[in-house]
Amino acid sequence: MRIVVLDGYCLNPGDLSWQALKGLGELTIYDRTPGDLILERASGAEAILTNKTPLSRETLAALPDLRYIGVLATGYNVIDVGAAREKGIVVTNVPTYGTDSVAQLTIALLLELCHHLGAHGEAVRAGEWTANRDWSFWKTPQVELAGKTFGCIGYGRIGAQTARIAEALGMRVLIHSRSEGIPLDEILEQSDVVSLHCPLFPETRGMIGASQLQRMKPSAFLLNTSRGPLVVEQDLADALNAGTIAGAGVDVLSVEPPTEGSPLFSARNCIVTPHIAWATREARGRLMEIAAGNVAAFAAGVPENVVN
């Protein structure tokens, strides 16, 4: 079986091994594949692995040998799964690899909003503590989480794990999901922290915009480590700059890499990290192991983690 990895660099910049996949067939790995080279590189492949390189209906129609697509991530919106189904191409994803890592970074963003450790550490290095008249100083308000309310929007594996950590910090957890919990408006109005853990569907795109932000407490924080387009970024920037809410921490944006001048880059008290919640070595190692297992299961005629 000829296997082509179209964009393997983010998963494995050199600290992991591709050996498990090499044992399954003739393997070719590309760090990145621009759109105009997808067909050339994928031609003749029976199995393609992709993370963010898109495979459209037109592309799939031009790949007659293709029988399997493995997405090196949980989200699979880069694949036209309907067209793949019509052509009998199996599409799989990796659904469980990053639960602990994403939950961890979500709480890290929250703690940074509470304490701004980076800014205080830089202030010390710049001599501000040495020059200070008092034995202690702080440049931003310091926030204690115990007793506050954590609103978890979306309650899959990552949302549930993040909620458990919030509870361990002494927070009261409220849940909103498609199958359980309280209405979204009540979550927004009651929560001191609102954390998004939803998949991106047409009905969730832009679910947090100006009207939803207006319902939040002026002291509240918004966290998004799920999907960038869940939030209307200009509305969030406007809300932050106007003091409608107190702060935001986001690891995802609507366009990645972002365009220059994203409104969140200059928004007040907004922490933006470059989609790194999934990227611990431990999580990437699990992703590699599961992705190779998906290919092996397909080759054995018993595909796993099929999404189409």
Mean per-residue pLDDT of the chain: 96
Nearest-CA neighbor of 219 among 248, 189, 192?
192
* SS3 per residue for 126-187: CCCCCCCCCCCCCCCCCCCCCCCEEEEECCCHHHHHHHHHHHHCCCEEEEECCCCECCHHHH
Nearest-CA neighbor of 204 among 214, 193, 196?
196
What are the pLDDT digits (tens) for 251-306?
A: 999 999 998 889 999 999 999 999 999 999 999 999 999 999 999 999 999 999 99
* pTM of the model as a whole: 0.92
Does the N-terminal peptide bond of residue 54 adopt cis geometry, omega within 30 degrees of 0?
no
Model pLDDT, residue 259: 87
CB distance 228 to 258 below 8 Å: no
CB distance 109 to 150 below 8 Å: no
What are the pLDDT digits (tens) for 135-150?
A: 999 999 999 999 999 9
75 has pLDDT over 90: no
Distance from the Cα of residue 206 to its chain's centroid: 16
Model pLDDT, residue 178: 84
The arithmetic mean of pLDDT across residues 224-230, rounded, is: 97
Residues in CB range of 252: below 8 A, 6 or more apart: 224, 225, 226, 227, 228, 275
Q: In the structure encoding, which two tokens stand for residue 114, read together?
A: 């509470």
C-alpha to C-alpha distance for 221 and 7, rounded to whole angstroms? 34
Model pLDDT, residue 206: 96
Model pLDDT, residue 139: 96
Question: Which residue numbers are catalytic?
Answer: 227, 256, 275
C-alpha to C-alpha distance for 237 and 258, rounded to whole angstroms? 15
Model pLDDT, residue 26: 97
Structural domains of the chain in order of their starting residue, each with its CATH number: 2-97+281-299 (3.40.50.720), 99-272 (3.40.50.720)
What are the pLDDT digits (tens) for 52-71?
A: 999 999 999 999 999 999 99
Nearest-CA neighbor of 102 among 254, 225, 285, 239?
225
Model pLDDT, residue 130: 97
